[in-house]
Amino acid sequence: MNTSQPPFWAGLFPDSDFNFSFGVRPGDAQNFFSGSSSRDSVIQQRQKALQEAPSCHLFETREAAKAVEECVSWAGLKKGGCLELALHWEPDFLILLPEPEGQFIFRSGAVCFPSSWRPEEKIGLPLRAIHSPVPTLNDNLGSQIDKFLSRIKPGNSWQRFNWGISGSPALNQHPRLQNRQLSHPLDPQQTWIRIENQILLRLPLSGAILFGIRLVNVELTTIKQHPESCSGLLRAIKTMPASIASYKSITPVREDLLEYLA
């Protein structure tokens, strides 16, 4: 499939063995948090999550009061808190406060579309603890991430991408919802690459990090139509350690994926 411009996700699947890479590049936070053509639908889904299970998705602590206030002002709202931000912005967001030890703690935010994790279990924990279930991630990148966050200059933002594979196109994949899981035999028509477009912005006044997550689902059949990305994804899945394949819920369909992508 030839296109005049490659899709934004093409660079996610380089011709190299799988490895966790922080892979940041300069970002545009204002553009990241601006509305898209899907805004109405996304906000409706965010509202649904907040109405059905607010304790699973909305978090606001006294420690982050100044940072939340700064976010509200930066977003162009006259007043409000995390709830108002959650219904104004399409992306999820976490507010991370720096600690003297150099770690960043998840203090407030709204995570309406988690990728099979429980945000309510992570509030008050450092970023390393949030990532702790991911095999090898902290060992390879933990200290690098902490140092990078501490060096972000006020007002500057950085962008990165992360991906997984899902058997459901639902944005909200909180474990309580029991969304469709990948299972053998693989149905490529019911398989999506779940991409997290992430932004890191250092707030000038509070010094907090605003961590935004915007989700994009891409059909596996679409990836198949782009030879370079298909080849890169194939290699990533083939060389992925078993522990990581299990964490990403790929194990039941790993051989099916390799066969389909090949």
Q: What is the 3-state secondary structure (H, E, C) of 14-61?
A: CCCCCCCCCCCEECCHHHHHCCCCCHHHHHHHHHHHHHHCHHHHEECC
- Read off the pLDDT of each residue in 133-150 and give the average, rounded to a whole number: 64
pLDDT of 111: 98
262 versus 18: the higher-pLDDT residue is 262
In a domain, 246, yes or no: no
In a domain, 38, yes or no: yes
How does the average pLDDT of the chain come out, rounded?
Answer: 91
pLDDT of 130: 74
In a domain, 255, yes or no: no
Q: Does residue 132 carry a pLDDT above 70?
A: no
Q: Which residues contact 171 (CB under 8 A, 6 or more apart)?
A: 42, 45, 112, 113, 215, 217
In a domain, 244, yes or no: no
Write the pLDDT tens digit of every residue in 38-96. Answer: 999 999 999 999 999 999 999 999 999 999 999 999 999 999 999 999 999 999 999 99
In a domain, 236, yes or no: no
Number of domains in the chain: 1
Q: Does residue 97 carry a pLDDT above 60?
A: yes
In a domain, 192, yes or no: yes
Q: Does residue 137 carry a pLDDT above 90?
A: no
Q: Does residue 131 carry a pLDDT above 70?
A: no
In a domain, 206, yes or no: yes
Q: Does residue 18 carry a pLDDT above 80?
A: yes
Q: Are 82 and 108 in contact (CB under 8 A)?
A: yes
Query: What predicted TM-score, i.e. pTM, was given to this entire model?
Result: 0.92
pLDDT above 70 coverage of the chain, percent: 92
pLDDT of 135: 43
Q: Model confidence at 119, in pLDDT bands (50, 70, 90)?
A: very high
| Domain of 105, in residue numbers | 22-219
In a domain, 230, yes or no: no
Write the pLDDT tens digit of every residue in 171-189. Answer: 999 999 999 999 999 999 9
